[in-house]
Amino acid sequence: MSAFRRLPRLLLAASLLVATPFVAHAGAQSPPVDPRDSMDVASLTFDGAKKVSATDLKTVLFTRTSSCRLVLFAPICKLTPNLLFTDRRRTTRKALGEDITALRVYYWRRGYREAQVDTVLAPVKRGMAVTFRIVEGEPTRVGAFTVTQRAPVLSRRELDDAVALQEGDPLSLVALDSTLARLKVAVWNHGYGDVRIDPIMPAPDASHVVPLTIDIDPRWLTRVGMVQFQGNSVLSDATLRRALLLRPGALYTRDAVLESQRRLFQSPAINRALVVTPAAGDSVKQISITVTESPPRHASVTLGFNTIEFGQAAVELRHNVLGAGRWLSLRAAAGNLLGEQLNGRAVFRQVIPEDTPDASVFLSPTYQGSLTLTQPWIAGARTSASVTVFGGRRSLPGVVIDEDAGVTLGLVHELGPRLPVGINYRLESTRVRGGAVYFCAGYGICDDATVTALSTRQRLAPVGLSAWIDRADDLEAPTRGYTAVIDAEHASSATGSTFSHERVAGDGSYYRAFGRSDPDEDRFPKVLALHGRAGWVQPHGILHPRARFYAGGMQSVRGFAENELGPQVLEVRRASLIAAGCTDATIASGSCNPSGIPSSEFFTRPTGGSSVVEGSAELRLPLGSRLGTVVFLDGAYVGTAGLDVAARGRGAITPGAGLRYRSPLGVLRLDFGLRPVGAQSLPVVAAVTDANGAQHIVRLATEKSYSPIEPDPGTLRSIARRLVVHFAMGQAF
């Protein structure tokens, strides 16, 4: 038996031997407390812990500190220990003795084999102050360290990536276990599924140094033999085999096992999939896979709201078993619910002033419906195809209403785990409803005849290519890793499209955790999150509003409302111009000067741009159980090169802060962005009515120096108006 295999027994024996006298010592040092009584823990500290963090030490203890249930209750908790607000924790003398043993074992496993621990108890106002006194001592260190291979399987780089110990480090069994596990995985992924890895460690010498040798014996190549399934009654064995990378005769590797399991689990027809690893000793592995099938039909309902789309509701119906692994899903969603009632009230943004002619258009409910047939595992386990029929009415707030109906054909192939590429073709009939102001400001087309022509149904038919990678550790609240996606599309008469353009866009996020991990899984970790976005489009003629770029909003630059950052024009009412001394004649000719009109009487109309560069940095910190805070800095620039628009490109950088709450439904987010101070010169348009009653849009010759927070940026009211509030579910990125 190798030295490594004897370590658990030695560890247990050493722990039992060294713990007993220190439990007795703890009793001698503590105040006279009846051992039958439990005690409230008012505070918990570690005196002498220098090489490890107190946070890590708390993870192994039974004893916990009483704490406030929510940071918002902190003032109340200081006044009263009421259980409604305070999570009261108690401990006993016996539990403290077990905690001493746990701390000794913790240090021993990390190389500090001579560490000593005792306790000191001190009565305080609300219980006992518990102090663990620790003398860490000198660690047992790694001496000469070598890794030997009986056959040259791993490269030098693979060895360096796997090894977590170095000469001179404390002999941490945690790091050693991690090294052995990584080495096994690395060799296994070369096809040596029965690899044997043995650490050789003699007893420490007088200077507490241990030479360490790790011997790697790959033994023989292992291959996949027969693959059998258990638990499937609806899906056939032949269908399930198409999802596997474990094919008879192929090398038996760990990546193939995990990837096959993941691909099976991706099917909504399967609730659980487990690949049973065969025992070592045979070079041909007989694989057994146990699956648990889902109910053939599934239905779900989702309700929610945010500050820009008001009330939302969605229904999804899915038929999981159509033969050959196919499934059919029907999804219907509605947004802008109660838009007219909630517009500009409470926390909800004012999407558009209620007395504008097209207010009802933007505040009416939006909807989306789709029916998707998905066929997984075609031409191999890595490829899937889908057909979607869709239709809906979507709103770009304050910009345009986009009505569409059509079909999408898609093909996705995974180059590697969580590294898919896809190609799709979308053919749709689309109609843009933006009002005369939108077409005049965004396209330079102000006559009614052309506006009417553009408002009729047109074809949009782009061919798109996408690639994305996901290396983040969590879908809802990532703490480390990165994600990235890039999209390219082409639309022209050759693809059947009325609109023509080339468009490229990329989006990426990076997450890095720092500080010690917290034992409370409900607490948010400390994370630095970075996000970037860039895009460019080259139009050939009229550019569809959906192909344009916009910035600002709850998932963009949070110092602005949705789509507010970027090229804009100002719309002003005729009554405001008349009150400022203009006449119908000067308005119609464009010579009316709007400079004297207060900014509050204008409202902005985003036009979209042909390029965008955007970036965000966000620091995420815990506040208490389930509650966290963030500080962020967002910035973006949206350009207009190649577009015939009245507005110019614009950029801004905005700071902000927010709160996060981990609810049973997901992470709830409340962000406060700070709009920048300063006026900008913007084009002004106004609607005029001719003698025949027809409405026309006129661009005034004089631009307006516009600031949404005039007259005085220093007043309390103006400072409050600089705050842009966003409430939604999920992290910003």
Residues 6+ apart with CB under 8 A from 575: none
Q: Report the sign of the C-alpha dihedral through residues 720, 680, 531, 535, in that order.
A: positive
Beta strands at 684-689 and 568-572: parallel, antiparallel or unpaired? parallel
Asked if CATH classification 2.40.160.50 holds for the domain at 298-433, the reply, yes or no, is yes
CA dihedral 554, 410, 260, 415 (to 10 degrees): -80
pLDDT tens string 175-202: 899 999 999 999 999 999 999 999 998 8
SS3 37: coil
Would you give the DSSP letter of residue 437? H
pLDDT for residue 698: 85
| Domain locations along the chain | 3-135, 141-217, 223-293, 298-433
d(CA 431, CA 400): 10
Position 124 confidence tier, pLDDT thresholds 50, 70, 90: confident
DSSP assignment, residue 221? -
Binned at pLDDT 50, 70 and 90, residue 511 comes out as: very high
Rounded mean pLDDT of 645-649? Answer: 74
Q: Tell me, which fold does domain 3-135 have in CATH?
A: Ubiquitin-like (UB roll) (3.10.20)
Work out the burial of residue 239: count CB atoms within 10 Å of its CB; fewer than 13 is exposed, 13-18 middle, 19 or more buried.
Answer: buried
Confidence of residue 342 (pLDDT cuts 50, 70, 90): confident
Integer Cα distance of 521 and 203 in angstroms:
38
Say yes or no: do domains 3-135 and 223-293 share a fold.
yes
Sequence-separated (6 or more) residues with CB below 8 Å from residue 443: 454, 542, 644, 645
Only one residue has tokens 């079909």, namely: 407
**H or E element: which one contains 31?**
none
Which pLDDT belongs to residue 699? Answer: 85
Report how far residue 465's alpha carbon sits from residue 470's, in angstroms, rounded to the nearest whole number: 17
Q: Which pLDDT score, from 0 to 100, does residue 21 have?
A: 35
pLDDT tens for each residue of 129-158: 889 999 988 899 999 999 999 999 999 999
Q: How far apart are CA 486 and CA 489, in angstroms?
A: 10
What share of the chain in percent tops pLDDT 70?
Answer: 85
Architecture of the domain defined by 223-293: Roll (3.10)
User: Per the CATH hierarchy, to which homologous superfamily does domain 141-217 belong?
Assistant: membrane protein fhac (3.10.20.310)
The packing angle between helices 93-109 and 3-29, to 10°, is 140
| For residues 590-604, average pLDDT | 88
Q: What is the CA radius of gyration of the chain?
A: 33
Q: How does the average pLDDT of the chain come out, rounded?
A: 83
Written as six digits, the tokens of 595 are 């400079």
Largest CA distance in the chain: 106
Is 717 in contact with 605 (CB distance < 8 Å)? no
In order of 307, 517, 634, 725, the CA distances from 346 in angstroms are: 9, 38, 25, 10
Percentage of the residues of the chain whose pLDDT score is greater than 90: 36
Look at residue 14 in the predicted model and tell me its pLDDT: 40
User: Considering only CA atoms, which of 185, 190, 184, 189 is closest in space to residue 216?
Assistant: 184
In this prediction, residue 617 has a pLDDT band, given cuts at 50, 70 and 90, of very high
* 21: exposed, middle or buried (Cβ count in 10 Å: 0-12, 13-18, 19+): exposed
Sheet holding 39-47, edge to edge: 90-91, 39-47, 127-135, 116-124
Which of 626, 629, 631 has the alpha carbon at shortest distance from 523?
626
Report the alpha-carbon distance of residue 284 to residue 191 in Å, rounded: 11
